[in-house]
Chains A and B, each alone.
Chain A
Amino acid sequence: MKFWQKAFFCVLFVFLLGVDIMGYVLTERSYALNLEYALTSAKTEQQIIRSSVIESISLVENNYTELNAENLKIIISPYAGFYHNQGIYFQLYQDDTLVFNNIPNSYSGTKFSVSKQQIHTEVKDIDGTRYCFIAGYLDQPHDNLQFVYIKDMQSLTGYKAQIIETFTIISIVISLFLSVIILVLLISLTRPFRKLNAAATEISQGHYNKRVDLKSHDEIGDFARSFNLMADHTEKHINELSQMTENKQSFIDNLAHEIRTPITAIVGYSELLKYANCSEAEKETAVDHIISQSKRIQNMAYKLMDLAYMGNENIVMLPIELESVLQDVKAALNIRLREKQVNLYGELGQLTITGDEELIKSLFINLIENAVKASPAEGKVEIRGKHEDGGVLIEITDYGKGMDKKETDKVIEPFYRVDKSRSRSEGGVGLGLAICARICQIHNAALNINSEIGSGTTVNLFFTTP
């Protein structure tokens, strides 16, 4: 059962219960008041009639007429005839004998046991009709006569039934009316829930960009906002995860591809040595290739391990003098620079950053090596550094080949190489910039590459923790 259905039946039930209890109480109270009023007026009437009857009897007695059953009947008959139309009947007992009775049905009745001077009131149903009996003895000297006044109260019962009927009709009409209003209200009040449910269902089916559009400022509005916030986070994480999976997959694809060439060469030359009758020169070529290709795989394995384990080891973040790092890097790259006759200009003065010295050295070596590789023979590479926005900005610029925008985006991906054959012949495995990016990540540094084909490349490093 849906919530709005439950709420509908609950409200309707409570309402009907309330209305019916109120109706019952009102009916009963109204009936009781009416009954009381009727009894009071009946008593008054009984008093009046009784007085008249006593008078009549006194009058007859003064005429010395015997007060027998016959005479009593004659005395009371006019009253009975007069009141009959008003639904008022009489009984008269002389001693224990019923001398007069005009109730319109077969009821004969019995004498009421009531003490002299007292009035007895009783309500009785006879053959489906309600009567009120008021009985009492007459005053002395006629206290052997019991006068019973009987009033038809059926109209009062009818009145009650009518009230109940009216009430039932009213409650049914109001219930119907109310049902419609409650339904409309409930459906419009629960609409946000259905919206939320629809959104949740859609998200569960993988449409993580689905959001709920609810502007209300009540609890449901709050809920919708929290829901959207949750969906935002979920979407973000899912996207990150799928991006990560994609990167991993392309990394593995690239690795498999990269490893194919050296393996093919090693297997091929080994088989050549084993199966062919090679000349000594061929044997030497084969062994040379096996060694160099094995070294390439080894180099790749080391770099991959660097990439994988970097950051897991204990990194000591200490203040580093960049100038001394640069001097070490220059010394390490000296042979390389001389081979290609590339000049490295620039100094980093008093600049310091906080970081791991070995990693920062490796970062500089990789970036400067790339710059040298891109430069033409006898070219130059420049390094500049300065304080900026509370951090340290370092620029490494070459005036070499450069690359287009598409390539600058891809170049930090593992195994991506701008110039495939040259990079390989110079011993690269395509992991240098990926390692640089990882080092920057560890140091909370930003790495940006600006490049233009033909005019060169500038790599910006921005360290926020000087």
Chain B
Amino acid sequence: MANILIVEDEPAIAELVAIHARMAGHQALIVYDGDEVVNSIEKQRPDLIVLDVMLPGRDGFSLMKQIEPIGIPVIFLTAKDRLDDKISGLKLGADDYIVKPFETIELITRIETVLRRYNKNTNIFVLDDLQVRLNEHVVTLAGQEIELTIKEFELLKALIDNKNLALSRDKLLELVWGYDYMGETRTVDVHIQRLRKKLHMEDAIKTVFKLGYRLEVPR
């Protein structure tokens, strides 16, 4: 669980990011004004900052210059889609740059990636008897280690990353098998069945009618 600071003057967007962050199991705090950011960093000591560029008060680029030496990872979230904006944002030391409109799954995946890069994400996922050590690729059920194939583990990881969100079979194929995989969505179903059986996750991995699968975790 990480502490995420969301700096965005649009309440609709800020809350959207916050809801997703909470859904992924993080804590989220919203700041609407550029002038309050520094203050908020000092108080909250966030693990990651999602930063808009055009803000009332100080703008994102000038804030970035101050945040960079502290070493807190930053993801820019902005409507500025010009390449030179992107380049100047990344040059200032941002870890990623997401342009509006964005897909929420993309945002969550990028947040998870950055957190993992900084080892700020919890390495261990626990659900009832199940324990998954994500970095070591070790899965135990009530203390017993369970053997998973690479694809099964990746599929489990994709579900954990996007917990409480339904992922379509196509999305799962893309996340686990890659864009260029030519297989059928049946492959996903087969692997899900195996995961459920091996890990006793029949209840946790829900089949969402017409959509796909969702790992449900109490919030």
**Which residue numbers of A lie inside 8 Å of B, CB to CB?**
257, 260-265, 267-269, 271-272, 274-279, 282, 285-286, 289, 292-293, 419-422, 424-425
Contacts and interface: CB of A to CB of B under 8 A. Distances in A.
Contact of B12 (A262, A271, A421): A262
A275 B15 contact: no
Contacts of A292: 12
B23 interface: yes
Given A276-B164, A421-B33, A261 B56 contact: no
Interface in B41-100: 54-56, 79, 100
A444 to B, nearest CB: 37
Interface in B1-45: 9-13, 15-16, 19-20, 23, 32-33
A260 B82 CA distance: 14
Nearest to A419: B56
B199 interface: no
Residue from B23, B55, B211 whose CB has the most chain A CB atoms within 10 Å: B23
A277 B166 CA distance: 8
B79 A261 contact: yes
A260 B56 contact: no
A268 B79 contact: no
Contacts of B19: 272, 276, 278, 282, 285-286
Given A276-B164, A276-B165, A277-B164, A421 B9 contact: yes
A263 B101 contact: yes
Given A261-B12, A276-B164, A419-B56, A271 B104 contact: yes
B152 interface: no
B216 A261 contact: no
Nearest to A275: B166
A3 to B, nearest CB: 53
Contacts of B104: 268, 271-272
Given A261-B79, A265-B16, A420-B9, 16 more contacts: A261-B100, A264-B16, A264-B100, A267-B101, A269-B12, A272-B20, A275-B166, A276-B19, A278-B19, A286-B19, A419-B56, A421-B9, A421-B33, A421-B55, A424-B9, A425-B11
B171 to A, nearest CB: 10
Contacts of A257: 79
12 contacts: A260-B101, A261-B10, A264-B100, A264-B102, A265-B13, A265-B16, A268-B13, A275-B214, A276-B165, A276-B166, A277-B216, A282-B19
Contacts of A282: 19
B165 to A, nearest CB: 5
Nearest to B54: A420
A292 B100 CA distance: 18
A264 B13 contact: yes
B165 A275 contact: yes
A463 B206 CA distance: 69
Residue from A263, A272, A278 whose CB has the most chain B CB atoms within 10 Å: A272
Nearest to B208: A275
A403 B133 CA distance: 56
Contacts of B167: 275
Contact of A274 (B16, B166, B206, B219): B166
B211 A274 contact: yes
Contacts of B56: 419-422
Contacts of A263: 101
B12 A289 contact: yes
B24 to A, nearest CB: 10
Q: Which 7 A-B pairs rank lowest in CB-CB distance, beginning with the nearest?
A: A265-B12, A264-B101, A275-B166, A421-B9, A421-B56, A268-B16, A289-B12
Contact of A424 (B10, B100, B214): B10
A272 to B, nearest CB: 6
Contacts of A286: 19
B12 A272 contact: no
Contacts of A274: 166, 211
Nearest to A265: B12
A261 B17 CA distance: 13
Given A260-B79, A272-B20, A422-B56, A285 B15 contact: yes
A277 to B, nearest CB: 6
Nearest to B214: A277
Contacts of B54: 420
B211 A275 contact: yes
A265 B79 contact: no
Contacts of B32: 421
Contacts of A289: 11-12, 15-16
A325 to B, nearest CB: 34
Contacts of A260: 79, 100-101
Contacts of A285: 15, 19
Nearest to A261: B10
A465 B219 CA distance: 68
A260 B79 CA distance: 7
Nearest to A263: B101
A49 to B, nearest CB: 119
Contacts of A264: 13, 16, 100-102
Contacts of B214: 275, 277
Contacts of A262: 12
A262 B101 CA distance: 9
Contact of A276 (B10, B12, B23): B23
Nearest to B206: A277
Residue from A267, A269, A277, A425 whose CB has the most chain B CB atoms within 10 Å: A277
A292 B13 CA distance: 12
A268 B98 CA distance: 14
Contacts of B23: 276
Contacts of A425: 11
B83 to A, nearest CB: 14
Contacts of B15: 285, 289
Interface in B91-139: 100-104
Contacts of A422: 56
A146 to B, nearest CB: 122
Contacts of B10: 261, 265, 421, 424
Contacts of B103: 267, 271
A89 to B, nearest CB: 114
